Every structure is written in C-alpha cells, then in structure tokens.
Amino acid sequence: MVTKVFSPHPALAPFVQFYLIQQTNLPQEVHCVLACKVLASIQFAFKAPAVTSFHYHGTPVENRVHLGEKPAMIGPTNVFGNAYFTGELNLLAVALQTTGTHYFIKESATAMTNRGVQVELVNKAFNEAQEKLLAVSSPQAAVQTLEPYLIRHFYKNAPHVLKNDLSMITNYVDGREGMVHIEAMAKTFNRSRRWLEKQFQAQIGMSPKAYARAVRFRNVMRHLYHAPNPSWMEVVARFNYTDQSHLIKDFYQYAGNSPQAHFQSIPLIDQNIHKNF
C-alpha cells in the first residue's frame, strides 16, 4: 500500500487538516475494523471508481455508505467502524479540522456523529468534482482538482458558523492529549460548562468529556504504533488511566477489541490511517 500526506491550500487551513492518499490493489474483499479516529473525513476516489464501503459499530450492515462514483462523508467518531475494500483503490481522504464537520454541513455536527452519508446530500457540486477526479491519475493532480470546490464550499458556509468557533478550545484539548478537566477548561476560557456542552455538540458532535476521551485514545494509539514492545502499565500511567482495566474498556469502545487482540491482527489500512489521523 502507498500512503501519502499532502498539506491543504492555506485558505483551507481553518477547515482541513491534511489530505491522505491511499493506493492499493486488493484482489479479494478485505474487511477491516477501523479504530475510532475522532475526526471526520470526506472520501473521494480518483483514477477509477472505488469499491469500498463503511458502517459504524451498532448500525445495520444495510446502512453501509458506499464509495463508488460518488464521494462520501464519514462523520466524527467515538466508536469503531467496519470498512470493506475491494480491487484497485485510489482514495483521497480530506481529513477535516475538529470543527470542520460543522462548517461543511452548516448544521449541528451531532447529525453526523458516528454516521456516514453521500456528499451529494450536502452539496451536489462535489459530484462534478468526483467526475473530474476519475480522469486524473496522480495524487497531486487529484488534490489540485478538488481544492477549488472545497474552498468555494467552506467559504460560502463560514459566515453562518464562525461566530462561536471552538478551534482555540479544541486546540487546548488536543495539545493536552485529551487529559483535561472540563470545569478547569471552562474556567480557563471564561465559559460556562453549559456553553461548552452546547457548542461541542453543535460543532463537534459530542460532549466535551466524550471528545476528550476520544482524543486521549487517539493519542494512545499513536503512541502504541510508534512504541516497540509497549508496556501497558506505562501507557496507563502516561495517559492518566485509572488502571489497566480502564484502558481495556476504552479499547473495546474505540477499537472493538482488547489491546492485545487488536495489535495481533492490526489491519494495514487502519495502521496507515491512524498514524496520520
């Protein structure tokens, strides 16, 4: 598998973190349990239509979101999901900023939490972008083709949602790897807990506490992917878990399995994604 990361145009920095390119060829369908990444993304195929689909834990298989000749959006997550890949894949994932879902759909991000939808339900103009993407073969050309559509869409929506932007606060949570106390955070930013609850639900799609927990787990996964022969007790102490059973509980919620079982059969696709998200 070829994995590449591209930075967005500076005009997109408030909305897009990066682009993640994944290219591979799978002769048979591969089913992967993908661990929670917290962030939302918009998935486009380039070069050729993709044969892949996705659905979240706890939702029926018939609710899969399919990525073929039309782009799909995968909402912010605090559970794991199931993905299915087949054939030649050339995928361009637009990894959104924490508040990017709110800017993209121009409504409460709660509507997209642990959900996936076809992007045409948000803006049919991206179907035109997808048609052009299927005519390009290189990752660089795919990014250049898509960016004008993203810039137009985000800046059309931005005035509607900019007033209470949470970016400074979510950066605070991210910078502390999710290990924050909500009351202390409210005091730091001179906001009430009620205001934080309301804005986190609207802009991110989950409560401040749920977001902080998921961010902590995302950082646990990053740490484990880069730490050879990790000590679980060291991870418990490093990320301020109560004990090892507390860590295992989070693994079952966010990755669908115990830490040991997850790393014994870790999907390459999930590993590549989680090293970047």
What digits encode the pLDDT tens for the residues 137-146? 999 999 999 9
Which stretch, 1-5, 84-88, 183-187, has highest mean pLDDT? Answer: 183-187
Nearest CA-CA partner of 204 in 82, 115, 75: 75
- Is 148's pLDDT higher than 90? yes
Give φ, ψ of 56 to 5 degrees. -85, 155
Quickly list H helices, 75-138: 100-105, 125-133
What digits encode the pLDDT tens for the residues 169-192? 999 999 999 999 999 999 999 999
Residue holding tokens 């559970």?
79
The sign one gets for the Cα dihedral 73, 77, 81, 86 is: positive
The DSSP output letter for 272 is: H
Average pLDDT, stretch 75-99? 92
Nearest CA-CA partner of 119 in 75, 165, 162: 75
d(CA 251, CA 87): 30
In this prediction, residue 270 carries a pLDDT of 64
Using pLDDT thresholds of 50, 70 and 90, give the confidence band for residue 160: low
In this prediction, residue 58 carries a pLDDT of 79
Residue holding tokens 């009620």?
194
In this prediction, residue 16 carries a pLDDT of 96
- Is 155's pLDDT higher than 80? yes
Contact 271, 225 (CB under 8 A): yes
In this prediction, residue 266 carries a pLDDT of 66
Give φ, ψ of 34 to 5 degrees. -95, 125
What digits encode the pLDDT tens for the residues 9-56? 999 999 999 999 999 998 988 888 888 889 899 999 999 998 899 888
The sign one gets for the Cα dihedral 201, 150, 4, 168 is: negative
d(CA 74, CA 115): 6
SS3 54: strand
What digits encode the pLDDT tens for the residues 56-85? 887 777 778 888 889 999 999 999 988 888
Residue holding tokens 């250049």?
144
Q: Is the pTM higher than 0.75? A: yes
In this prediction, residue 204 carries a pLDDT of 95
The pLDDT mean for the chain works out to 90
d(CA 158, CA 191): 23
Six token digits for residue 142? 């795919």
What residue type is assigned to position 192 of the chain? S
What digits encode the pLDDT tens for the residues 263-272? 777 666 666 6
Residues in the chain: 277
d(CA 168, CA 174): 10
In this prediction, residue 174 carries a pLDDT of 95
d(CA 11, CA 19): 14
Contact 95, 39 (CB under 8 A): yes
Contact 22, 272 (CB under 8 A): yes
d(CA 16, CA 30): 28
